[in-house]
Amino acid sequence: MKLSRRKVLALGAGFGAAALTGLSTSGIAFADEAATQAAIDAFAAGAEVGEGRISLTAPEIAENGNTVPISVDVESEMTEADHVAAVMILASGNPNPGVITFNFTPMNGVAAATTRIRLAKTQDVIAVAKMSDGSVFMDKKLVKVTIGGCGG
Amino acid sequence: MATKPRVKVPKKAAAGDVITIKTLISHAMESGQRKGKDGNLIPRKIINKFTAEFNGATVFSADIEPGVAANPFIEFNVKVMESGTFDFKWLDDDGSEYTSSKEIAVE
Amino acid sequence: MIKVGGIFAAVGIAAMLASLVSPALADPDNNQLIIEGELIVTDVAAPDSSPLDHIYSGWRFRSPETQSLQMDDFENPGFVAVDAAAETWETADGSEGKSCASCHEDVSSLAGLRAELPKWDEATNKPATMENLINRCRTDRMGAEAWGWEQKEMVNMTALISLQSRGMPVNIQTDGPMAEWMEKGKDLYYTRVGQLNMSCSNCHEDNYGNQIRSDHLSQGQINGFPVYRLKWAGLGSIHRRFKGCMENIRATPFKRGSDEFIALEAYVASRGAGLAVETPSVRN
C-alpha cells in the first residue's frame, strides 16, 4: 500500500511523542569514553591491556535494558601461583560506567561468573580481567537495547 | 525491601568437583538516578557488596554498583575439597546485612 | 506480509499499523518451554469460540534470554515473590487468629483453581477473580483487612496459588451465567478506544507475531499471570497489564478490579483455553 505524506507525518508525530514518554532517561548525563577509560586504567594499574583469555557473553539484542544477563569466563588454571584475581564489568553508555567487580580466588576452580545488569541504551559492555601476576585482558560486546513501542 | 535471599548449592559433591552456586536476593537496587513523583532524585539504596565464605575463608566476592539489575542474581563456581558450610552475606547501603548459610557434604 | 483488512484500510489506523508493524520477526518461535524437567504446553489449537486457528503463549514471542529466565525456578525472579507468599500463607492475621493454612492446609490443595478463574460466584452474583476470592477469605474468615489489588502481598499470594496449577490447561466456564460477562468482555476487546483509537484486537489478533516498533507482539494471552516483567522489575497483575495497554493507546484505563476488567479478564482467559498455566511467567 502507498502512504500519503500527510499520514506519514501524522504517524511520526504521534509515535514520536509516545516514544518520548516511555523514556525516563532524559536529563541524565551518560558516562563518556573518558570515564570508562579512567575506570579501565585504574583497574589495570599501569599494565598493558591485552586481548584474549577473557570472554564476555551478552545478548546481541536486549529486550529490556532493565535486566540483561551477562557472563564472563577467563582461561586460567586457578592455582595459587596463577589465577584470575578479579573481573570488572563496565557499561560504557550508562550514567556511571561501573557495574560490578567479581573478586576470584584459587578456590573457585574456574574463573566464571554470571549476573544481570542494567543498560540505559545501546552500548558496549566491557569486561576486564586482572590476573594474579598483574596482567590484564579485555573483551567487549555491543548490546542493542530496544525501547518498546508498547511496553505498557 | 529485601527479603530472605535465595541460594542454590548442591547438597553433596565429590572432592575436587567444581560446583555451581546461584544466589538471588530481593532488592529494588534504587540507582540514585531516578526521580520520584515530587521531581526530586530518589536516594541511592543498593546492595553494594556480596561475599561468599567457605569454612571461614572468603572464596568469592563482588563489589556491586547501581548498574546491577533489581533483585541481584550472581552465579559463580567453587572447587570443593572437603565438607563444610558456605556463608553468604549481602551488604545494603543502609548498613543492613543479609545472610544465608548452606552445608555441603563432600565425599 | 502486512495484513490490512477492509475495515482497516478505511481509517488512519491502517497507515499507522502498516508502517509501525514490520514483519521482520513474524510468527512465534518453535522453542519448547521445559521447567524443572516438565514440558509446559505453549501452543494448542484455538478453542472453537476463537477467531484464531492456533493460540500461543506469550513466552513464544520473547527473546531466548528472556525465555531462559522462566526455564529454571531458581533463576526466575518471580520465585522471590512465591517464597514470600509461602511465609504469608502460614502467618495468622486478623481477629480470628487464622492463617490461609488454618483452613486450606497445604497450598497445593488449591491446585487447579487458577485454570478456572474468573469463575461464577453465587455470593456476589458475578464472576470472581483470584484477588476477589483471597480478599473474601481475609475479610470473612480471617477478620483481616482486604488487600489492595496490586499490593505486594496480594500479587505474591496470587503467584503462589497460581503456581499450584502450573501446567494445567486453562479451562474457564463460558456458558450459563458467565455468558453475559463473556459478551461484555468481547465488546471491550473489539471496541476502539483512546486517542490512538485502537482495540485489543488491532494488536493481539490482527498483528501478533509482527513488530510494533521494537516489540514483538504476542496474542496477549494471560495464562502466565501474575507475570514478572523485566520492565517492572517485579510481579504484576492481569489488570495492571490491561491498564498499561490502555495507557499506551492513550485511553482512560478502567480501574483494577472493575467490572470492565473482570469481564475482559474472563473473555481473554477464554481465548486462551487449553494453554497451560505458566505462573509466574517472565516477560520483557
SS (H, E, C) A86-116: EEEEEECCCCCCEEEEEEECHHHCCEEEEEE
Q: Does one domain contain both C32 and C85? A: no
Active site residue C245: yes
Q: Does one domain contain both C71 and C54? A: yes
Would strands A136-145 and A98-104 be described as parallel, antiparallel, or unpaired? unpaired
State the average pLDDT over residues A27-47. 82
Is residue C266 in a domain? yes
Would you call B26 and C84 a contact, using CB atoms and an 8 Å cutoff?
A: yes
For chain A, the 3-state helix, strand and coil shares in percent, each to the nearest 5, are 20, 40, 40
**pLDDT-derived band at A31, boundaries 50, 70, 90:** low
Is residue C4 in a domain? no
A3 reaches C (C-beta below 8 A): yes
Q: What is the pLDDT along chain B (107 residues), one digit of tens a residue?
A: 446 799 999 999 999 999 999 999 999 999 888 888 888 888 999 999 999 999 999 999 999 999 999 999 999 999 999 999 999 999 999 999 999 999 999 99
Is residue C1 in a domain? no
A28-145 CATH choice from 2.60.40.2470, 3.50.50.60, 1.10.1370.30, 1.10.460.10? 2.60.40.2470
A20 reaches C (C-beta below 8 A): no
Would you call A64 and C230 a contact, using CB atoms and an 8 Å cutoff?
A: yes
CATH number at residue C131: 1.10.760.10
- Structural domain of residue C129, as residue ranges? 79-163
Cβ neighbours of B22 in C, within 8 Å: 74-75
Q: What SS3 class is residue C46?
A: coil
Please give, rounded to a whole number of angstroms, the shortest distance from the CA of C65 to a CA of chain B: 14
Would you call B24 and C80 a contact, using CB atoms and an 8 Å cutoff?
A: yes
Is residue C3 in a domain? no
CATH classification of B6-33+42-106 is 2.30.30.700, yes or no?
Answer: no
> What residues have CB less than 8 Å from A119, skipping those under 6 apart?
A62, A65, A68, A91, A93, A94, A125, A143, A145
Would you call B71 and C233 a contact, using CB atoms and an 8 Å cutoff?
A: yes
Is residue C270 in a domain? yes
Q: Does one domain contain both C179 and C273? A: yes
Q: Does one domain contain both C136 and C262? A: no
Chain A touching partners, 3 or more CB pairs below 8 A = B, C
| Structural contact between residues A48 and A136, judged by C-beta atoms closer than 8 angstroms | yes
Q: Does one domain contain both C69 and C129? A: no
Predicted complex ipTM: 0.94
A17 reaches C (C-beta below 8 A): no
Would you call C74 and B28 a contact, using CB atoms and an 8 Å cutoff?
A: no
Chain A: which residues have CB within 8 Å of chain B? 24, 28, 66-68, 71, 78, 89, 91, 94-105, 107-110, 112-118
Cβ neighbours of C18 in A, within 8 Å: 1, 3
Is residue C5 in a domain? no
For chain B, the 3-state helix, strand and coil shares in percent, each to the nearest 5, are 0, 55, 45
Cβ neighbours of C219 in A, within 8 Å: none
Q: Does one domain contain both C192 and C125? A: no
**pLDDT-derived band at A78, boundaries 50, 70, 90:** very high
State the average pLDDT over residues A104-114. 97
Parse chain A into domains and list their residue ranges: 28-145
**Closest residue, chain C, to B75 (C-alpha):** C75
State the average pLDDT over residues A82-102. 95
| Residue whose C-alpha is closest to residue A130's, from A37, A59, A49, A60 | A49
Can you give the pLDDT at residue B33?
Answer: 83
Would you call A59 and C65 a contact, using CB atoms and an 8 Å cutoff?
A: yes
Can you give the pLDDT at residue C19?
Answer: 46
**Closest residue, chain B, to A120 (C-alpha):** B67
Residue that terminates a domain, selected from C163, C181, C206:
C163
**pLDDT at position C56 over 60:** yes
**Closest residue, chain C, to A10 (C-alpha):** C16
Cell numbers at B42, concatenated: 530518589
Please give, rounded to a whole number of angstroms, the shortest distance from the CA of A29 to a CA of chain B: 10
Q: Does one domain contain both C150 and C14? A: no
Which of C66, C68, C72, C80 to mutate: most B Cβ within 10 Å?
Answer: C80
Would you call A150 and C62 a contact, using CB atoms and an 8 Å cutoff?
A: no
Please give, rounded to a whole number of angstroms, the shortest distance from the CA of A11 to a CA of chain B: 30
Parse chain B into domains and list their residue ranges: 6-33+42-106
Total domains present in chain C: 2
Can you give the pLDDT at residue B1?
Answer: 45
Would you call A113 and B58 a contact, using CB atoms and an 8 Å cutoff?
A: no
Cβ neighbours of C214 in A, within 8 Å: 146-149
